[in-house]
Amino acid sequence: MSVIESVSITESVSVLERVGKKESSIEKNGLRGQEDPVKSESRHALMVGGDERPGRFGPFGGAYVAETLVPVLREVEKAYAEAEKDPAFTEEFVHLLREYVGRPSLFYAAERLSAQLGGARIYLKREDLNHTGAHKINNTLGQVLLAKRMGKRRVIAETGAGQHGVATATACALFGLSCIVYMGEEDVRRQHLNVLRMRLLGAEVRSVTQGSKTLKDAINEALRDWVSHVEDTFYCFGTAAGPHPFPTMVRNFQAVIGRETKEQALKALGRLPDALVACVGGGSNAIGFFHPFIEDTSVRLIGVEAGGKGDEPKYHAATLGLGEPGVLHGAYSYLLQDDDGQIQPTHSVSAGLDYPGVGPEHSYLKESGRAEYVRVGDDEAVRACEILCRSEGILPALESAHALAYAFRLAAQLSGEEVIVVNLSGRGDKDVETLSAYLARRDCDE
């Protein structure tokens, strides 16, 4: 049994079963027009099976990939399991988080904001203050450190909002590795500042012109690259999705967010917060934030998806709220698909949430009832961004603004004795042009 299975996966599943597991909707959904992969032993399914198998979160997860990738995924799993047990690896990773990233990130009492809103007190976990401006660096340092340990000379990555691309390019520059970042053409246009940052850091940015030209298509191209260059290439996956072992590995590298939050809350408040709120696209910032609190059932865990322009297909990216289970990018999880099983186009004002899938552990948290998932539309997210700017002098990323918007709603329903902590997953410098265009259109409409 691998270390990943025995320490990470199995513990997570057993914890969730203890807090109460709902009946899974998988039995009635599954893959459209296909046998449910959880029940079938597909030759393309690495480590299929039930909760006791590695890479499973209840029925979700697994690795449904081309045969070419099976050995390389096993290589990554083995290398990560060995690294987890190696004190030298952990020591170097922790050192980098402290001395290079600037951790621990602040646990900030947004007093003026809380006073203006009324109701619950709002605290911010300031991941926007990390080196490179977001939570992504926690994961890329861990994965690129692993790539170096494995002797890989070339690192590839996908990116939507550009923050994972910047963080990967940063880690590769630090370790002297080659870096190629795939980015949808639409995201290149709306996140041009981050494209320039990646290139300054020495990365090659490849614009993807297929499909919707966004994050989904960037992942597709990165996977194609990896299949063709398995010997010398490491795929630094940007979120807690994709085939095993990526959901577990990314979550573990990001769990520093939740561990710090718990310690900081106990010190500042003398108790745990009443609710944690985080945005969810693929879900890495949220799962890292939530995971250390899973056993603390008095703490509500709330993920906020992109409601876009409404609930009609193609106008949102609310995978958990409006999707159903299926296979996307190598994992069985919730996704947005049409009646023929084709992946639906998505929309969000925030490039980082504009994705039709979600990490499998979030799907299990939804099914188990341990976490709640809601959605916030473009307009409400932009208004939340403006409110935080003007009340606290903090410009959040549009992704984080979705979490803020829901926290504002929730605060009004709670008393002044209750505490909400929002994971401010990134800063909004990258979104200034998008915000400027959005606000100009809104002013014209008004």
Q: What residues are annotated to the active site?
A: 136, 158, 425
Residue 55 makes CB contacts below 8 A (sequence gap 6+) with 4, 5, 9, 46, 47, 61, 62, 63, 243, 244, 245, 247, 248
Query: What is d(CA 371, CA 365) in angstroms, rounded to the nearest whole number?
Result: 5
